[in-house]
Amino acid sequence: MRQGESIVFQSFRQAMAWLHTWFGLVLGFVLMAAFFFGALSVFDREIDRWAIPSSRFEPQPMPSFEKVLRPAFERMQPLPASIEAMRPRVDGPMPAHYDSIAYWSAYTTHRDPVLALYAGYQVPGAKNPEELLLAEATIDPRDGRVLPNDQLKIGSGFFYPLHYSLTLDWKNLGFWIVGFSALVMLAALVSGVVMHRKLFRELFTFRPGKARLRSVLDLHNLTGVVALPFHFFFAFTGLVIFASTYYFPIGHTQLHELHELHEKHEAQELGLPHGRAGVPAGLANVDAMVAQAQRRWEARGMAGDVGFLVLQHVGDANGYVSVYRAGTDRIALVGQGVHFKASTGQLLREDPPTTAVGRVSEFLTGLHLQHFRHWLLRWLYVFGGLAGCACIATGLVFFVEKRKRQHARQGSQGARVVDALAVATVAGMGVAVLCMLVANRLLPEALPARGDWERHAFWGAWLLSLLHAAWRSGPVARGLPNPAWREQAWAIAVLAPLAVLLNWITTGDHLLRTLGAGYWPVAGLDLALLVVAVIAAASARRLGRRAGACSRDAAEDVEAAHA
């Protein structure tokens, strides 16, 4: 499409085509990362097991508060880095010890062997008194042993946040980029449907033998249309999940007073004044409260485990303890909260049944985050996410293929640049992930800031992949394929089995052992890596054969006009 004519659209369809092409191109790279790391995040906790060998044991229920959690919570303090980060927003010196505890909480699912603990501390003199200093720790719930902070949970601590924020935390920039991309994804889906009148026929159209351009487009339409509800659902619910926190934080800004009013109503229903009393108070036996909550769930015919345990205003007379049931067997993450007065253990309130709107909200967010037990659906999510990646990748490749020869004749570098970016996005992302896994197995166990080194390996490999793709992109300017596609496919085919091998050498957990023991978190990732290697090697061979054919063709039909 030439730019001059693109400005005034003759029809709605033309406008949608413009939108689809150009917004898809600019944000396709971000969307690809969101879909790919989202697909990996489906198995985030399993990837964590692979990356932290000391956590390779069976999932554990919420441990006893008195025996395990209380000592672990009492030892917790914010990290020096978060203290430094908050210092400019506090009048006066930072305290030496943080003992005004706003909350302690622990969240677990049916897939968690280790337990993540969270704490929020009030800081005297904070310019915004509502701003809390946060702390996090991971413990072995069997004995309360603390896992070192330097051990990066590659799945839940890196791939997962990468999926929704690109780990660009400055001013929440990453959230905004991914959020805008999600809006564009929705727009691309609508505009894609508008562009193609024969939507239903395209569902069954794939002509792998036809001209490359045609089969790339077929694959783009196929992966887009087959998984259309999946793509729309995830882009939309992703936006909904963060809407009230990041994108439209109206309840925290413009309508803050309504929010406050609501919290006061809630405190009334709970039977406790809103906020801290400022009067110290003890903490009754929390295990007894948990046992009572479980008896109440059982009485309602829904016996279950504790998923989320929260202690608000610890050590204050207004403190209370909330026990939530794990949503292992339902879509909501947690629910059926039972609340107790912390100082006496007296039952304050049981959550009423969820409202109709609340159920819709639980359904949409719960289905996106999927913490319930359903392994088939979990795999379908992975394939849906990969179908999304395939749809975006073929869209980018189609953009290049359609223009490559024309640009070659005009001496334009456009297709060449887009193609190099596409190599780095599609193949480079795989290379970066594999380099991170390899680094995870090669770096010394006790290396200080080990997690940072793993992150450097990831970003460094990704950057190298982009430089390599740019360096090898010369042939695209002559209408030929970029050899970087093939070379990076080979890199994946080598790195993936290498990661499996290193896992064996450094931990002794080879596939025969993990499969024999039925330890699927590690066996599954190892198997997936081997499958990836086979697919990458097959693609690399195919690309090699095609490159040979292409250079022969191109010599003949340089001036042949194509679509």
Residues that bind another protein (CB under 8 A): 2-4, 7-9, 12, 15-16, 18-19, 180, 183, 186-187, 190-191, 236, 239-240, 243-244, 248, 250-251, 254-255, 257-262, 355, 357-358, 360-361, 364
User: Whole-number minimum distance, CB 410 to another protein, in Å?
Assistant: 12
CB of 335 to another protein, least distance (A): 14
**Minimal distance in Å, beta carbon 443 to another protein?**
42
- Least distance in angstroms from the C-beta of 22 to another protein: 10
197/529 Cα distance (integer angstroms)? 39
Looking at beta carbons only, is 6 or 54 nearer to another protein? 6
| Beta carbons within 8 Å of 45's beta carbon, 6+ residues apart | 109, 111, 112, 155, 156, 521
- Measured from the CB atom, the residue of 215 and 237 that comes closer to another protein is 237
Q: Is 464 exposed, middle or buried (0-12, 13-18, 19+ CB in 10 A)?
A: middle
Do the Cβ atoms of 312 and 319 come closer than 8 Å? yes
Count of alpha carbons within 13 Å of 125, Cβ hemisphere only? 11
SS (H, E, C) 527-544: HHHHHHHHHHHHHHHHHH
Residue ranges of alpha helices (H) inside 411-449 are 414-442
Q: Within its chain, how far is the Cα of 71 from the centroid?
A: 31
- The least distance separating another protein from the CB of residue 246, rounded to whole angstroms, comes to 11
Nearest residue to 21 (alpha-carbon basis) of 271, 392, 457, 277: 392
Give the nearer residue to another protein in terms of CB position, either 7 or 299. 7
Least separation in angstroms between residue 13's CB and another protein is 9
Q: How far is the CB of 470 from another protein (least distance, A)?
A: 28
What is the spatial distance between Cα 175 and Cα 181, in angstroms, rounded to a whole number?
Answer: 10
Q: Which is nearer to another protein, 22 or 118 (CB)?
A: 22
Sign (positive or negative) of CA dihedral 150, 156, 159, 165: negative
Burial of 438 (0-12, 13-18, 19+ CB in 10 A): buried
Whichever of 22 and 504 has its CB closer to another protein, that residue is: 22
Angstrom distance (rounded) from CA 87 to CA 101: 18
Shortest CB 293 distance to another protein, Å: 22
CB of 331 to another protein, least distance (A): 15
Distance CA 284, CA 340 (A): 10
Closest to another protein by CB, 364 vs 467, is: 364
Could you tell me the two tokens for 103? 């909350």
Closer to another protein by Cβ: residue 5 or 298: 5
Instruction: Name which of 211 and 250 has its Cβ closer to another protein.
Output: 250
Nearest distance, CB of residue 256 and another protein, angstroms: 9
| CA–CA distance, 202 with 221 (Å, rounded to integer) | 7
Q: What angle do CA 377, 159, 418 make, to 5 degrees?
A: 100
End-to-end CA distance of the chain: 11
**67/262 with CB nearer another protein:** 262
Q: Are 459 and 524 in contact (CB under 8 A)?
A: no
Residue 410 exposed, middle or buried by CB count within 10 Å (0-12, 13-18, 19+): exposed
Based on CB atoms, which residue is closest to another protein, 365 or 507? Answer: 365
Helices and strands in the chain, H and E counts:
18, 7
Q: Which is nearer to another protein, 27 or 286 (CB)?
A: 27
Q: How far is the CB of 241 from another protein (least distance, A)?
A: 10
Per residue in 161-183, is it b (16+ CB within 10 Å) or e — as a string? bbbbbbbeeeeeebbebbbebbe
